[in-house]
Structure 1
Amino acid sequence: MAQATAAFIAGLPKVELHVHIQGVLDAPLRHKLAQKNNVPDIAETVEGLERRYQEFFSACCDRSTDVAELSRGFFELFERGGRVLVTADDFYELAMLYYRRAAQMNVRYAEPFIDFMELTRWGVSLDTQMAGYRRAQVEAERTLGVKSAWVLSFSRTADPIEMMAAYEDALRHRDMIVGIGMAGFSDESSPLKFNQLYTRARQDGFRLTIHCDPTVPAPAIHQHIRECVTQLGGGGVDRIDHGISAADSTGLVDLLRRNAIGLTICPWTSLPALMHHDDPDQAFFEGVVRRLFDSGVRISIHSDDPALAGQNWVQEALEVVADWAKFTQEEVVQLSLNAVEMSWASCEAKAMLREEIVAYQAIPA
């Protein structure tokens, strides 16, 4: 069986389940919005911003960089960038930046994260954010053929009371929201401290996911994954973002497979967490991606925050997996089909996506 090529991957219909819309904010748009809204930023020119992004990505690839320090640097860049987003038009432009790029990569359906809590703290209402996203969502489906639904991402560092208030406020926009998630700087504390929010969201009919970041050391991260699969929200989440530390535990691999819990894996933002290994690439692509896939765990491949990851999008994420983990065309197709099954699209939409992917696979090389 032939190894998947970049050309084959480019034509493959895709589903993206792990991309933070704020994480696609590139230097040109960031500079433009900072100037328009008179917001001081970390650099005064596009070139200066691009240099800061590149310095961060280079640090990610440097084995001497402290992972915790890298994580703090990421959130500083990410959250500071969010301050240039002020008006509904800004959020429209940001979303359209993603949708246009998604269309170029043959992404047919996406469930982007909205990291909204820091923005509301800065005085940008959720209504303003959602107005821009709604306009872009409608336009992208009509003009680009990219369908989507939004996942409301809560800040892990927020107080649970603040989270519940933010959740209640967001219910006005529930027609746009398919599920809830949680991201942010992770520590060793149990995710069950968020159980009230997750249980309420489950009762209200939302789907559930949560980041289980590889920056949290074992055994804490193993316990977190177990709690998320079996307890959070009253009976476990529907999928897990990252979660690659499960590859270290046969018990967790069995648990994920038994419960049909998928992992949304992002190569370009996960690799830095494995830099302490003698061979980080082997540790990630063979020890994580290939092991989980071959073990029958449902995994899918995504971009996460491409602006902070060297402008590596879902296309490049699949390419690097095919290259380093030696995935064949059939296996890359299975990754795309996995994403369909892990998505929260309607049954009808899933059937259409599956049909398109299988038809593409049948086209002679």
Structure 2
Amino acid sequence: MIPSVIAPDFSGIPKLNELASRDFLAGLPKAELHLHLDGALSPALMFKLAQRNQVELPYKSIAEIEAAYQFTNLQSFLDVYYRGASVLNTEQDFYDLTRDYFAKCKADNVQHTELSFDPQTHTERGIAFATVISGILRAMADAKKDWGISAKLVMDFLRHLSAESAMKTLEESLPWKDKIIAVGLDSSELGHPPSKFTEVFARARTEGYRVVAHAGEEGPPSYIWEAIELLNVERIDHGVRCDEDAKLMDYLRETQIPLTVCPLSNVRLCVFDTMAEHNLFTLLDAGLRVMINSDDPTYFGGYLNDNYFALADAFPVTREQALLLAHHSFTSSFISDDEKLKFIGQLKNYANNFQ
């Protein structure tokens, strides 16, 4: 079931054709649907947790950690990513990590987020599933109480591991399935097509999970087709290589399957050489349901607002385009239509009253 399409209506909103200033983009109510929690581990928190848990890192300072963030492709990033995750060992560590991300949501006016976690990253090294999810859920509850931020949890499977490992993780998740809205698929894309996990996703759907998957970032358009036809996904994470297949472009426009695009990530991982070459606005102008996300923000140079700013520096982004991207972020979420309409109302009220 693809998230319901609520048609945008910006009639009467002033100055739609004006370029969106940084102030306009910064205050824009928005949702984030593609965020990896381990990828929000800041160098400062990584260093702090390494000391707290007596984990030895190959870095002597926060500056050395930051200097390691020079990536040539997805795998070079993942090597550093998994090393950083080794500092997360206790429920409090996962709470601190998640709380830190929600503080950035508050600063960026993110009203709703659907954050992904990779339990296998931690269970494979002996950390209990309950330890991981308990810290995350506690931080989610506090973010709702303290800041009013709405959140859902997506559990991703690591595609470089076996389908059997993914099925085991799915089984482990079942006592928590009322706390997890969806399952997804991430990590090394090349050589690990969605078809590898057909049975896992079929079982997940029978358990009531909604389904998403990374496809078409480094992998070819055929991976997007597999995610749609074999996994029956409701959203595609990334999907930017869809423009290499005209039939796929038509299908995505007709079905309005959302694409959760991550501009800074795409440039840092050399999917595009520069931001000016990014195809997000080509996809938007073609009628595809795209929106902006930050992916792994501490590794790729910025949180959600930073991605909006980077696009606005590279393209003449109008207020109407920014509103449409934010509108897509709400309508593509896994919240109820009533909640979506509430957030869309906030979005339109903001645009009407912005000076």
TM-score by length of 1: 0.89
Q: Aligned-pair distance for 1:254?
A: 0.5
Q: What's the offset of the Cα at 1:352?
A: 1.1
> In 2, Cα distance between the equivalents of 1:270 and 1:119?
26
2:62 is aligned, of 46, 62, 65, to 46
Match of 2:239 among 243, 247, 268: 243
C-alpha distance in structure 2 between counterparts of 1:271 and 1:342, whole Å: 24
- Which runs of 5 or more residues in structure 2 are unaligned? 1-16
- Distance, in Å, in 1 between the alignment partners of 2:138 and 2:338 is 24
In 1, the alpha carbon distance for the partners of 2:264 and 2:289 equals: 19
Rounded Cα–Cα distance in structure 1 between residues aligned with 2:272 and 2:204:
38
Task: Kindly report structure 1 stretches of 4+ aligned residues shifted beyond 3 Å.
Answer: 272-277
Q: In structure 2, the residue corresponding to 1:112 is in which secondary structure?
A: strand
Question: One-letter code of the match for 2:32?
Answer: E
- Offset of residue 126 of structure 1: 0.9
SS at match of 2:34: coil
Change (3 A) 1:196 1:33: same
Task: Quote the offset at 1:281 in angstroms.
Answer: 3.6
Match of 2:37 among 13, 21, 25: 21
Bigger mean CA offset, 14-23 vs 204-213: 204-213
Question: Going by fraction, where is helix more abundant, 1 or 2?
Answer: 1
- Number of corresponding residues: 339
1:308-347 superposed matches below 5 A: 308-310=299-301, 312-347=302-337
Corresponding residue SS for 1:79 = helix
Q: Is this contact kept in 2: 1:211–1:243, CA < 8 A?
A: yes
Give the AA of the match of 2:34: H
What is the correspondence of 1:208-219 to structure 2 with a 5 Å cutoff? 208-216=211-219
- Structure 2 match to 1:350: 340
Deviation at 1:273, TM superposition (A): 5.2
State the superposition RMSD in angstroms. 1.5
Helix, strand or coil: the match of 2:189? coil
Counterparts of residues 115-126 of structure 1 (less than 5 Å): 115-126=118-129
Q: Percent identity?
A: 29
8 Å Cα contact 1:289-1:325 kept in structure 2: no
1:118-267 correspondence runs (5 A): 118-216=121-219, 221-229=220-228, 231-233=229-231, 236-267=232-263
Aligned mates of 1:189, 1:275 — CA distance in 2: 18
The reply on whether 1:8 has 2:24 as its aligned counterpart is yes
- How far does residue 50 in structure 1 lie from its aligned partner after superposition? 2.5
Instruction: Report the Cα distance in structure 2 between the residues aligned to 1:203 and 1:184, rounded to whole angstroms.
Output: 24
Q: 1:193 to 1:364 in 2, by over 3 A?
A: closer
**Once the 2 structures are TM-superposed, how far is the Cα of residue 207 of structure 1 from its aligned partner?**
1.2
Show the counterpart of 2:285.
Answer: 294
Aligned to 1:86: 89
Partners of 1:282 and 1:51 lie apart in 2 by: 25
Shift of 1:276: 7.3
Residues 36-81 of structure 1, C-alpha deviation per residue, up to 9 Å, x if partnerless? 111111212223223323xx1xxx4xxxxxx4xx322211111011
Equivalent residues of 1:274, 1:283 under 8 A apart: no
Which structure 1 segments of 5+ residues have no match? Answer: 61-66
